[in-house]
Structure 1
Amino acid sequence: MSNGWTVPGYTEVRELGSGGSGRVVLAVHDGTGTAVAVKYLSDRMREDPAFVREFRAEARLLGGLVSPYVTQFYEYVEAPDGAALVMELIDGVSLRSVLLESGRTDAEAALVVLKGSLLGLAAAHRAGVVHRDYKPENVLVAADGSSKLVDFGIAANRGTTPGVAGTPAYMAPEQWQGQPASPTADVYAATATFFECLTGRKPYDGANFAELAVQHIEAPVPETEAPEAVRPLIRRGLAKRPEQRPENAEAFVAELEAVAVAAYGPQWEERGQRKLAALAALLPLLFPSAGGAAAGTTAVATTSIGSGWAPGRGGWFATGLALVLGAVLVFTTDAAGTPPSPSALSDFATTSPAEPGSTPTAGPSAPGPSPTASPTAPPTASPSPSGGPTPTASWSPTPTAWPSTGNSPSWSPTPTTGWSPTPTPTPTPSPTLQVTGLGVSLKPGVYRADATVSLATRGSGPVTVVLQWFLGDARGVYAVPDGTDTVVVQAGAPTTVVRSHTFPRGRGCYAGVRVTTKPAAAGAAASDSQPLVRCTDLEPPR
């Protein structure tokens, strides 16, 4: 920051990117040596109370999301001289970078991107949150081909009416019209990004906001430009009416898996992830671990009008509406050269370094060639820093999600001590630390299961909780390993850890999880096994 303020307890390594709203640096947590991404709010934006409220709101929202497909939030810190979000550092590149380098991906790789980010959206939708700004800039691709969803800067609670906001090229018809925030709008934006992965172009190419609005509201879905096997997903996801789309991201994942297996076989996901990893490997200097120099993050989008389509009778009315909306959007888009609106956090870099060429990017919230516009005022809730002599306020998430409906209540960050992000590698526990109780229960879904782990400890220090996922053909049979989740918690009061896992299609009807801890629990391990709902011929879950 211009005033030199840094988050206490962290040593800055280098800048990853910067923009009109602030900058992002790679830093190391002094207590554990863990590398993190610190997202600083600029001095200019800190002078705008509405923007600061949005920044705090993003911290609250991220604190309620726990998913391996969403960038993990560690801490929000606010002091008289600055404000910052401390987040997981993803050693990856934005999907926008991949598309700029390769032009497009094949269908299997595109399906992998869509599935991973849909699972991130599903976590948000279960918490009652709508992202509202899904686009290639907000999807990070790691070296192994996995992907994570980032940047919840203009997210809103489901059913609220925060106004017209988003990135025009990916906004659903109802989003242009200012209708209440809905998961179906996120499904639309994810499908538009999927289309771009497949074809190398956005679904609609209006030359300005007005043309884009009319095209999204009325123009036919360009499904014929995509491979025939995945056209049902394009047709469903880009449907003009929200009720014609899957109701949320989780429902869309089920449809995606059915289409993918039918078209490309049961190994489509493994092949697609390898292909995506190969594309990311073409951009080694853009990974945070590469140590490249940072660059700015502001770029102006350019679009061109297509041919062969003109609005009908209803479209001309939509054109008039869109001209008004477009005019508002033009004057509130940071990428167009004017100061950003309070809600436009998407020009904020988060973890990956700026990209070369025409589209500099700096991670989860890099704008790339698609500006985010938000003409409306931010929520009215006005959280304020806690008073008292402590100069720095620091807030960390709790296991429970933020309320999913209504306006966000006022909130005051309170000082925290002894916090550390998930360390890598796992820190050595204190010799006096004990895990005295361990239990797990599994709630199955159609293709996924939610594990709730209960933990009782004695002493102090970090406890590593390891969840090993399995599939099997009978209850209690843990035959086919299907991944591992690791969570680090602090010993003390009884703790509950909740993790979700999505299983591949057609590899067994029983979901299983085995939980162990470091240090080991008194009973060594806990496990549970339940039949997945899709196997209707089996006994119902207990």
Structure 2
Amino acid sequence: MNDVWTVPGYAQVRELGAGGSGRVVLAVHGATGTAVAVKYLADRLREDPAFVREFRAEARLLGGLRSPYVVGLYEYVEAPGGAAIVMELVDGISLRALLKQSGRADAEAALVVLKGSLLGLAAAHRAGVVHRDYKPENVLVSPDGSSKLVDFGIAAGRGTTPGVAGTPAYMAPEQWQGRPASPAADVYAATATFFECLTGRKPFDGTNFAELAVQHIEAPVPETEAPEPVRPLIRRGLAKEPERRPENAEAFVAELEGVALAAYGPDWEERGQRKLAALAALLPLLFPSAGAPAAGTTALATTALKPPARSLLPGRRGALAAGAVLVVGALLMFTYDAVGGEPDGAAALSAFATTGPGAPVASPAPGPSPSGSPSASVSASASPSTSVSPSVSTSASTSSGPSGTPTPTPTSTVTEPTPTPTPTPTPTLTPTPTPTPTPTPVVVSGVSVSLSAAPSAGRATVSLDVRGGPATVTIEWFRGDSPGDLRSADGADSVAVEAGTGPVTRSHALARVGGCYLSARVTTKPAFDKKTAVDSILIPRCQEVPR
């Protein structure tokens, strides 16, 4: 191993996972003694400039995202011996590992997972980035039940057309069709994962790419398999047309908060987090902090596109959809996620595959997914004459970093590769990432709410002081017959508030009929000293003009 390049200044401890596109290791920063996760690009991929560009792009993207719900970047280093992304170490295990152990999750626990990772998506969406590969392998659960989003290896800018890419079981209809990347596609994938948490199976179980494409594009949403209170979220999030879904993750969080509050009461999130922590506690040896021996395997798979089963072709439109997928498939190369044994909770491991008539179909080895459907990660170029779109997807699922872990303070550096004797000059890389500061506890104080109302709408202004990092403010709306009457819910809004931000103002169109008083209840995460703030106002149409 002496000839293997490592990032200067870090001592490698053990390998956390490996795959066709690279490996992830647990390392310690020499100057501070802080544990980090280092994602190395595979040597053979460094010979392809396109893969190197994508790897750099992933680092730049992580460097631009500042969210407690997204794995943080410390630095990106590139040298003649290799390329690596140094990230915070999340002491967590993948949602896939939890589902493999428990089969499914309680509705409140599933809602907590969905909300946490949606807030990570929301940070990306605000930055104009679409993740494109949301799945259980890319959601990490910490011992306290909090969750975090990882692996932006195939992320793309909103509105761009990078080609067909994603993991088939979670891909939105428009992703199969190669349409521009949009936040609504991430909402779809998050909902598919939410469905799997609730039911123990993926929403569609086609046995090949063509079947899955037809099902995602045409098959009815299987909402009735989910608990009745959360079916509206499944129905909205898995809508076939992107315009019928929440437009982005932040909007979906607002809908989730409203549904969860109405169905499970104000303490749903606290209970769900406890349940999630209990599930994680069943797998103590899978956490990076457990120090279990590293394990990683790489598999090579080839696949052929088979015609869809006749039972999955609902009429002429189904046949046309399948035909379109097969035409696209003939032009594409696919990337398989060959899942290893996960003795340490490692993420799905990437291996590259080619397509061709008559090629054998290789299932992910050795452990099939619960539904038996392919869990391949598809990455394709749109033209047979161009090279395959790079998909650097060695996930840091078990190695990217927990809340509460001390952060290193290395100087953020980008080490350039020295020029090689080739006619192509080495691209200049601007050192965009900066080291993450030592975490400061998030404190919320001085919370108050005041209301104003029009005949059919309300407006809440929330004053608060946030220190140490972002907080989440939730405004719950109620209609009643007296001030402070909180029995009849009328929806909820949720917004992330950065430290030092001024008052938050939210308008709300009244959804219910009846009741002359509009009330707003404000809670925050983390909670402030009084836990809630409430204000009520008489709706203008109910006010009597004094005589």
Matched residue, 2:413: 394
Could you tell me how far 1:218 is from its partner in structure 2?
0.5
- 3-state SS in 2 of match to 1:533: strand
- 3-state SS in 2 of match to 1:105: coil
Q: Match for 1:277: what amino acid?
A: A
1:295 aligns with 2:295: yes
8 Å contact kept, 1:510–1:529: no
1:317 aligns with 2:320: yes
1:235 aligns with 2:205: no
8 Å contact kept, 1:510–1:530: no
Aligned pairs, number: 425
Aligned-residue CA RMSD (Å): 3.9
**Structure-2 separation of matches of 1:44 and 1:333:** 15
- 3-state SS in 2 of match to 1:473: strand
**Structure-2 separation of matches of 1:90 and 1:39:** 13
Residues 1:31 and 1:359: Cα distance change in structure 2 (over 3 Å): farther
Could you tell me how far 1:11 is from its partner in structure 2?
1.2
8 Å contact kept, 1:106–1:198: yes
**Structure-2 separation of matches of 1:55 and 1:97:** 26
Matched residue, 1:533: 506
**Structure-2 separation of matches of 1:513 and 1:166:** 31
Could you tell me how far 1:465 is from its partner in structure 2?
5.6
Could you tell me how far 1:297 is from its partner in structure 2?
4.9
Alignment of 1:320-399 (within 5 A): 320-328=323-331, 331-335=333-337, 347=349, 358=367, 370-376=375-381, 394-395=413-414
8 Å contact kept, 1:31–1:420: no
**Structure-1 separation of matches of 2:432 and 2:476:** 46
Could you tell me how far 1:413 is from its partner in structure 2?
2.4
Matched residue, 1:387: none
- 3-state SS in 2 of match to 1:358: coil
Structure 1: stretches of 5+ with no match in the other structure: 338-344, 350-355, 361-367, 381-391, 397-409, 424-463, 487-498, 516-526
Could you tell me how far 1:357 is from its partner in structure 2?
7.2
**Structure-2 separation of matches of 1:163 and 1:239:** 22
**Structure-1 separation of matches of 2:467 and 2:194:** 27
Q: Match for 1:358: what amino acid?
A: G
- 3-state SS in 1 of match to 2:506: coil
Residues 1:56 and 1:416: Cα distance change in structure 2 (over 3 Å): closer
CA deviation profile, 1:30-74 (whole Å, cap 9, x unmatched): 111111000011111111111111101101111111100000011
Could you tell me how far 1:95 is from its partner in structure 2?
0.3
Structure 2: stretches of 5+ with no match in the other structure: 340-346, 352-364, 382-386, 391-410, 416-425, 451-461, 478-483, 485-492, 510-517, 521-534, 536-547
Residues 1:532 and 1:17: Cα distance change in structure 2 (over 3 Å): same
CA deviation profile, 1:93-132 (whole Å, cap 9, x unmatched): 0000000000000110110011011100000000000000
**Structure-2 separation of matches of 1:277 and 1:369:** 29
Q: Match for 2:367: what amino acid?
A: S
Q: Match for 1:501: what amino acid?
A: A
1:209 aligns with 2:212: no
Q: Match for 1:137: what amino acid?
A: E
**Structure-1 separation of matches of 2:3 and 2:141:** 33
**Structure-2 separation of matches of 1:15 and 1:229:** 42
CA deviation profile, 1:411-444 (whole Å, cap 9, x unmatched): 6225799x75545xxxxxxxxxxxxxxxxxxxxx
**Structure-1 separation of matches of 2:58 and 2:498:** 33
**Structure-2 separation of matches of 1:99 and 1:373:** 22
**Structure-1 separation of matches of 2:446 and 2:103:** 37
- 3-state SS in 1 of match to 2:75: strand
Could you tell me how far 1:466 is from its partner in structure 2?
5.3
**Structure-1 separation of matches of 2:388 and 2:210:** 24
8 Å contact kept, 1:20–1:298: yes
- 3-state SS in 1 of match to 2:379: coil
8 Å contact kept, 1:160–1:181: yes
Matched residue, 2:538: none
Which stretch of structure 1 is more off in the superposition, 61-70 or 368-377? Answer: 368-377
**Structure-2 separation of matches of 1:291 and 1:19:** 20
**Structure-2 separation of matches of 1:99 and 1:504:** 29
Could you tell me how far 1:306 is from its partner in structure 2?
9.7
CA deviation profile, 1:169-217 (whole Å, cap 9, x unmatched): 0000000000000000000000000000000000000110000001100
Alignment of 1:442-457 (within 5 A): none
Matched residue, 2:143: 143
Q: Match for 2:378: what amino acid?
A: A
**Structure-2 separation of matches of 1:69 and 1:482:** 22
8 Å contact kept, 1:78–1:394: no
Could you tell me how far 1:510 is from its partner in structure 2?
12
1:178 aligns with 2:156: no
Residues 1:4 and 1:326: Cα distance change in structure 2 (over 3 Å): same
- 3-state SS in 2 of match to 1:27: strand
- Fraction of identical pairs, as percent: 68
